[in-house]
Amino acid sequence: MSKPIPAELVKLIFSVFAADVTMLDEAIVKLTDLYGEPDFISAVVPFDYTSYYCVEMGEKLFRRFLSMEKLIRPETLSDIKHSTNEVEDKFTAGRRRSVNIDPGYLSKAHLILATGKGYSHRPYLRDGIYADLTLIYQDKKFCSLPWTYPDYADEKQHLIFSRIRARYLLQLKETEYK
């Protein structure tokens, strides 16, 4: 019989994109208010995406990835997704979002995103939120899966997540010695 033990702490990450760089930065300030200081913020880059967001957000979008200094319990991901939905609502005019925030976490083994959309590879967490297994870490690198979104499958993003993972592993070691 296996004895349940608490899951290891994980690294909270966000993908934030918007048509306006100022709104992008304002959303990051709101996330900082909620979750503390980031320890990594990527450069602003054009967000290559499918037409899914076109009607709602426009054709030219910009993205930043960030990770937060404070490690979290993985079971809090549902609460975080609900909080980021509330932040998005503050940037909504009519029925059009101006900012999209995708929360997730990085562990030693994988990158998980939170979503409100169920699918075969998305186990239900709670309160209408599912976990999307987006990337796995094996053979010393992040690897895409058949369902990984094309932008997360990009090697440039894998390098970003590898950098965040290296910081995360250092933080785990630091917590061992406290």
Could you report the per-residue pLDDT of 106-163, keeping only the tens digit for each? 999 999 999 999 999 999 999 999 999 999 999 999 999 999 999 899 999 999 999 9
pLDDT for residue 16 is more than 80? yes
Nearest to 155 by CA among 144, 140, 164, 166: 144
Residue 62 is predicted with a pLDDT of 92
Q: At what angle do helices 77-90 and 21-35 cross, to 10 degrees?
A: 140
Tokens 């309160």 appear where?
127
The domain 10-176 is placed in CATH, from the list 3.40.50, 3.30.460, 3.30.70, 3.30.2310, at 3.30.70
pLDDT-derived band at 58 (thresholds 50, 70, 90) equals confident
Lowest mean pLDDT among 47-56, 75-84, 114-123, 147-156: 47-56
Residue 92 is predicted with a pLDDT of 86
Instruction: Indicate the DSSP class of residue 139.
Output: T
Helices marked H in 4-149? 21-35, 54-57, 77-90
Domain spans, the chain: 10-176
69 three-class SS: strand
pLDDT-derived band at 18 (thresholds 50, 70, 90) equals very high
- Mean per-residue pLDDT of the chain: 93
Count the Cβ atoms, other than its own, within 10 Å of residue 69.
Answer: 15
Helices marked H in the chain? 21-35, 54-57, 77-90, 150-153, 155-176
Tokens 């990984």 appear where?
148
Quote the radius of gyration of the chain (alpha carbons, Å): 16
pTM here is 0.93
Residue 52 is predicted with a pLDDT of 74
Question: Which residues have CB under 8 Å from 28's CB, separation 6+?
Answer: 16, 38, 41, 64, 66
Lowest mean pLDDT among 47-51, 67-71, 106-110, 131-135: 47-51
pLDDT-derived band at 95 (thresholds 50, 70, 90) equals confident
Q: What are phi and psi of 65, to 5 degrees?
A: -105, 145
Tokens 């503050």 appear where?
90
Residue 93 is predicted with a pLDDT of 80
Question: Which residues have CB under 8 Å from 176's CB, separation 6+?
Answer: none
